[in-house]
């Protein structure tokens, strides 16, 4: 990479990736600041003509950065809006340029017969000021061999449009490519490649510009602007740009909202209401508000009386009885009739008119114009088919007294909730599973749940604890965000869950299970590993001794430990290092009749380390009992610790060479894992078991047996693993 020039000399400064040719040993490691003289000059350095591979080197002596393009991208603005593709199979050698065209410069490359793929292509990426409609123009310079099959790829809003242009028809002029919706910022581009379907021609790449035409139109309408309460209104969204990733928010002016495209809303109270529609795009927000757009008059009292289902009631049956009286009645009369009906008694009420035919309107909103009425010849009706669960219904009764007069009741509503449903599934927002917190007073948050039951309500209960089955409640209420009164502990594993409970006691747990997270304000180094085998000053009679150590504990929860076995001969300065994720090593070759020092270093994910004690190890090619302290008899020692989690150490002694098998069994005699199965020299041995079976799976808590066979010696002991 060119770094600079030497003032007053024809010398350039580089970071040569292969070193410095001015110094011996090239390639080498002294690459920074290598100085090479310009071809044809000698300033006392290696000449560029021989320093490189013959490819010309260039370096800018002055440079003025180009600001990012907004509505016009020039082909001179490389990587500031304009991009030339030169990666394989393209290369810079395929691109050529001319001192002509817009701003006195343009690029070109040879056209290719393929129309499926491009080898060379260019993109123009603007940084547009706002979301809206733009006219797009490409500047096409004059060139006698220009292609007839250039295809501009217009990536706009959420799609790509292909626009073919015959570049041979134009001579240094702007050509209109169409008008499109573009987002603000550098989020869309124009692409042109060499796959034109013809050979012997060239594709021209010059400036492209975006001319703002107008802003987006956001609009809506209602099918009904005025009427009696309850008034059902259907809103239609006429906004011209509604991509799949935008969000809608309707504010109906009565405290209710919707995110549907074309919602239906019921106004239940008299009044004048402002309606606002907001469209939330990825980079901007557009909205429109219509003041006093909906006018609602007080509800109609009715020419006669409805009795049951009572208005605003919640029914526990899907086939309710509808009952009405075709004349006005007072409150005391209504109460008598209602009590009789609740007790299963159908009242025998004298009607002022006989042989009347009624029309019962029953719908999920108050607009009865879109449904057919139910014709009945009595003043009561029970549905033939069950009504839908967890739905609100509106009903009204009409009858004709003469050809010119229709009497109507009021419009009443009720809900159907035969069986209670649990709150809907929901999820926590923060902290999520396996998250590590550096703040001990975090804000816990979760998504809102909803209850499908009509007019039901719910509240939240948050629980937290240091064990999955040790959670205690810390909050009950309707909020979805809380901060605990007491701070959390550092370096701790926590479990938390949120329950949504409805009025009937049905509970739904966020995510379906407790969430685990960790606290760790600052990373801390692990504890030093404890060496197990070989013991300090032990003799070993093999060139491949088994080095073993206990796992290092780390105060930081959910941290990971990596180990480095370090060993060296006593009289040598050469140090050997073996990295491993296990707590043992049996593949390092030592020399016989040497003394070695060895230790183990533990390193966590952030690079903090701790190192064990250093032990002395002696190797021997012979086992002379009177010279070396060897075991006097076979032995299998009790494991330590016991009970254990996550590891335990099993020791055994061999007074002579023997074929050794050491295995773990469950209480019914099934082999869990075989820890040792090889011939061993005399000595003291230690083996670590991590509570996993031969498939690498953690065993369940319980009592296990470990048995050794060494020659004619056999012994079995018990151990307890606790999760």
- Out of 142-156, 455-469, 528-542, 618-632, least confident range: 618-632
> What is the pLDDT, as a whole number, of residue 68?
63
- 203 and 225 together in one domain: no
Asked if the structure places residue 321 within a domain, the reply is yes
- 126 and 206 together in one domain: yes
pLDDT (tens digit per residue) in 551-566: 898 989 888 999 999 9
pLDDT (tens digit per residue) in 555-606: 898 889 999 999 999 988 889 999 999 999 988 999 999 999 999 999 998 8
> What is the pLDDT, as a whole number, of residue 64?
56
Question: Domain boundary residue among 192, 214, 236?
Answer: 214
Say if residue 183's pLDDT is above 70: yes
Asked if the structure places residue 514 within a domain, the reply is yes
- 96 and 170 together in one domain: yes
Say if residue 713's pLDDT is above 60: yes
- 292 and 315 together in one domain: no
Mean pLDDT of 13-17: 82
Which residue would you say has higher pLDDT here, 213 or 57?
213
Question: Domain boundary residue among 499, 519, 539?
Answer: 519
> What is the pLDDT, as a whole number, of residue 91?
87
Mean pLDDT of 160-186: 94
DSSP readout, 533-589?
ESPTTEEE-SSS--EEEEPPP-SSTT---EEEEEEEETT----EEEEESSSEE----
Q: What is the mean pLDDT of the chain?
A: 90
Asked if the structure places residue 61 within a domain, the reply is no
Mean pLDDT of 450-473: 93
Say if residue 354's pLDDT is above 60: no
> What is the pLDDT, as a whole number, of residue 296?
97
Asked if the structure places residue 67 within a domain, the reply is no
How crowded is residue 424: how many other Cβ atoms within 10 Å of its Cβ?
14
- 323 and 281 together in one domain: no
Cα–Cα distance, 721 to 639 (Å, whole number): 11
Asked if the structure places residue 60 within a domain, the reply is no
Mean pLDDT of 188-196: 94
- 681 and 693 together in one domain: yes
What is the tally of structural domains in the chain? 7
Residue 557 to residues 242, 429, 490, 527, 721: CA-CA distances in angstroms? 47, 21, 9, 13, 22
pLDDT (tens digit per residue) in 248-277: 999 999 999 999 999 999 999 999 999 999
Question: Domain boundary residue among 198, 214, 230?
Answer: 214
Residue 686 to residues 267, 547, 584, 600, 624: CA-CA distances in angstroms? 80, 9, 11, 16, 22
Asked if the structure places residue 426 within a domain, the reply is no
Say if residue 351's pLDDT is above 60: no
- 635 and 704 together in one domain: yes
Asked if the structure places residue 40 within a domain, the reply is yes
- 266 and 313 together in one domain: no
- 544 and 473 together in one domain: no
CATH code of residue 327: 2.60.40
pLDDT (tens digit per residue) in 85-137: 988 888 888 999 999 999 899 999 999 999 989 999 999 999 999 999 999 99
- 537 and 585 together in one domain: yes
Residue 330 to residues 288, 309, 440, 698: CA-CA distances in angstroms? 47, 17, 65, 76
Residue numbers of the domain that contains 501 = 432-441+458-519
CATH code of residue 246: 2.60.40.10
> What is the pLDDT, as a whole number, of residue 53?
47
Token pair recorded at residue 87? 């990666």
176 neighbors 135 (Cβ within 8 angstroms): yes
> What is the pLDDT, as a whole number, of residue 18?
79
- 560 and 584 together in one domain: yes
> What is the pLDDT, as a whole number, of residue 48?
78
Say if residue 623's pLDDT is above 60: no
Asked if the structure places residue 424 within a domain, the reply is no
pLDDT (tens digit per residue) in 358-389: 999 999 999 999 899 999 988 999 999 999 99
Residue 13 to residues 39, 57, 76, 602: CA-CA distances in angstroms? 14, 11, 26, 44
- 102 and 204 together in one domain: yes
Say if residue 625's pLDDT is above 50: no
Q: Is 540 exposed, middle or buried (0-12, 13-18, 19+ CB in 10 A)?
A: buried
């Amino acid at each position: 990479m060119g770094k600079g020039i030497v003032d007053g000399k024809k010398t350039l400064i580089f970071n040569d990736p292969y070193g410095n040719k001015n110094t011996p040993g090239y390639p080498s490691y002294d690459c920074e600041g290598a100085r090479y003289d310009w071809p044809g000059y000698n300033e006392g350095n290696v000449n560029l003509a021989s320093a490189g591979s013959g490819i010309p080197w260039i370096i800018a002596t002055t440079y003025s950065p180009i600001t990012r393009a907004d509505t016009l991208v020039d082909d001179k603005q490389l990587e500031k809006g304009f991009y030339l593709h030169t990666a394989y199979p393209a290369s810079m050698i395929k691109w050529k340029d001319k001192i002509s065209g817009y701003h006195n410069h343009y690029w070109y490359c040879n056209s290719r017969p393929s129309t499926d793929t491009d080898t060379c292509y260019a993109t123009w990426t603007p940084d547009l000021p706002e979301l809206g409609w733009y006219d797009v123009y490409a500047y096409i310079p004059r060139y006698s061999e220009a292609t007839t099959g250039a295809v501009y790829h217009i990536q706009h809003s959420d799609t790509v449009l292909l626009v073919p242009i015959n570049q041979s028809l134009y001579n240094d002029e702007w050509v209109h490519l169409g008008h499109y919706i573009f987002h603000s910022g550098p989020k869309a581009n124009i692409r042109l490649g060499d796959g034109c379907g013809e050979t012997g021609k060239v594709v021209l790449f010059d400036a492209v510009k975006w001319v703002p035409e107008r802003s987006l139109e956001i609009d809506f309408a209602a099918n009904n602007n005025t009427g009696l309460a309850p008034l059902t209104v259907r809103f239609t969204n006429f906004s011209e740009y509604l991509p799949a990733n935008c969000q809608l928010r309707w504010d109906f002016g009565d405290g209710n909202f919707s995110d549907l495209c074309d919602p239906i809303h019921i106004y239940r109270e008299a009044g004048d209401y402002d309606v606002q529609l907001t469209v939330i795009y990825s980079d901007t927000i557009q909205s429109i508000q219509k003041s006093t757009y909906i006018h609602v008059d007080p509800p109609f009292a009715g020419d006669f009386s409805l009795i049951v289902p009572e208005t605003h009631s919640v029914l526990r049956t899907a086939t309710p009885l509808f009952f009405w009286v075709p004349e006005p009645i007072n409150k005391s009369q209504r109460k008598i009739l209602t009590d009789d009906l609740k007790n299963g008694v159908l009242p025998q009420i004298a009607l002022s008119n006989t042989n009347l035919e009624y029309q019962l309107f029953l719908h999920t909103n108050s607009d009865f114009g879109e449904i057919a009425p139910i014709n009945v010849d009595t003043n009561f009706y029970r549905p033939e088919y069950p009504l839908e669960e967890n739905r609100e219904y509106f009903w009204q009764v009409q009858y004709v007294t003469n050809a010119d007069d229709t009497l109507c009741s009021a419009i009443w509503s009720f809900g159907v909730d035969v069986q209670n449903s649990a709150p809907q599934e929901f999820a926590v927002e923060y902290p999520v599973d396996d998250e590590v917190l550096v703040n001990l007073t975090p804000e816990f948050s979760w998504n809102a749940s909803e209850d499908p039951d009509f007019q039901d309500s719910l509240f939240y209960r948050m629980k937290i604890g240091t064990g999955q089955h040790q959670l205690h409640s810390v909050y009950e209420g309707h909020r979805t965000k809380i901060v605990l009164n007491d701070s959390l502990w550092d370096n701790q594993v926590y479990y938390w869950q949120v329950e949504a409970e409805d009025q009937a006691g049905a509970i739904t747990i966020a995510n379906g299970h407790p969430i685990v997270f960790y606290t760790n304000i600052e990373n801390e180094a692990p504890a030093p590993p404890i060496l197990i085998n070989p013991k300090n000053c032990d003799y070993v009679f093999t060139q491949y001794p088994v080095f073993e150590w206990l796992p290092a504990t780390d105060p930081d929860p959910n941290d990971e430990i990596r180990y480095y076995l370090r060993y060296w001969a006593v009289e040598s300065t050469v140090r050997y290092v073996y990295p491993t994720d296990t707590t043992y090593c049996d593949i390092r070759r030592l020399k016989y009749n040497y003394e070695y020092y060895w230790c183990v270093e533990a390193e966590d994910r952030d690079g903090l380390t701790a190192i064990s004690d250093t032990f002395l190890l002696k190797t021997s090619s012979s086992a002379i009992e009177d010279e070396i302290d060897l075991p006097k008899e076979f032995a299998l020692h009790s494991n330590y610790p016991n009970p254990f989690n996550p590891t335990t150490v099993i020791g055994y002694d061999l007074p002579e060479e023997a074929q050794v098998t050491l295995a773990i069994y469950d209480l019914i005699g099934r082999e869990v894992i075989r820890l040792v199965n090889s011939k061993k020299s005399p000595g003291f041995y230690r083996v670590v078991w991590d509570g996993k079976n031969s498939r690498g799976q953690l065993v369940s808590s319980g009592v296990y047996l470990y048995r050794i066979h060494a020659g004619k010696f056999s012994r079995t002991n018990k151990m307890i693993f606790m999760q």
